[in-house]
Amino acid sequence: MVHEHDLEGLALRVSEVVRSVAAQIARAYGTVSEGEIETKSRNSLVSHVDKEAEQALVAGLHGILPDAAFLTEEETVDQSQARERWIIDPLDGTTNFLHGLPFFAISVALEREGDLVLGVVHEVSRGEHFVAWQGGGTWLNGVRVKVSDHTELGDCLIATGFPYYDYQRMDAYIEVLKQFMLLTRGVRRLGSAALDLAYVACGRFDAYYEYALQPWDVAGGIVLVREAGGIVSDFAGDRKGGDQGKEILAANPDIHPLAQSEINAYF
């Protein structure tokens, strides 16, 4: 049984660790030279800042739950399974960070026996700190937030991410993008899945969809959306299916079925 108070206390301690690492990333912003950037694949970059941030997060989180395992993007620690597991993206939006675009975040989630129970997403440039835990709601800099209350696609601002390595379904993706451009107030592509989800959680975006992501991209943000009253699923509507990031649709409860219907017409 997960106890809310136990998670609230954990969330406070995780927040301290994340804020400390955010300050470390902020100090490094604008200092990474072109020669220090590694290319994992054409559209996937990494720098020493990502790796150092991950190491600091792992050290801090290990101090909170010594027996928990880790799933991390940069694999600076052994990747393993346990009853509790931290899922970490030390710098979501690395390409933005390296190009001087101030839109990148730290994402941390805690998974207990397969369920995501705690999420923290910290937007470094503006110092926006999103935190949620199972049964405890979603909070932005200490103020409780909820998903939007729009009920019509015509009132909605939608977020997405462009495919960056799996181009097999590009035609379907472009058709869905076209539909949302026609049916909504606009579509935004900001370059950080963690922040797209955080912005759904606080009502800035009404929905967010993407495919071909990884668990560390979405785990923290999923907790934020669910605790803010939103729905997260894969494109088929499976609410556990979104957790791996292979396909994700996050939206308020009224918009989710409408957005899913548009996506399913092509995917």
| Category of 33 on φ-ψ map: left (φ > 0), alpha (ψ -120 to 50) or beta | beta
Look at residue 234 in the predicted model and tell me its pLDDT: 97
At 29 the pLDDT is 94
Q: Which domains are present in the chain?
A: 4-145 (3.30.540.10), 153-264 (3.40.190.80)
pLDDT in tens, the chain (267 residues): 446 669 999 999 999 999 999 999 999 999 999 889 898 876 788 889 999 999 999 999 999 999 999 999 999 999 988 999 999 999 999 999 999 999 999 999 999 999 999 999 999 999 999 999 999 999 999 999 999 999 999 999 999 999 888 889 999 999 999 999 999 999 999 999 999 999 999 999 999 999 999 999 999 999 999 999 999 999 999 999 999 999 999 999 999 999 999 999 999
Alpha-carbon distance 172 to 209, whole Å?
Answer: 13
CA gap 143, 137 in Å, rounded: 10
Q: What is the pLDDT of residue 42?
A: 67
Alpha-carbon span 266 to 247, nearest angstrom? 14
Nearest alpha carbon to residue 86 among 110, 105, 106: 110
Q: What is the pLDDT of residue 1?
A: 41
pTM: 0.96
**Residue 164, pLDDT score:** 82
Give the integer Cα–Cα distance in Å for 216 and 192: 12
What tokens appear for 224 in the block?
């934020």
Query: Quick one: pLDDT at residue 43?
Result: 75
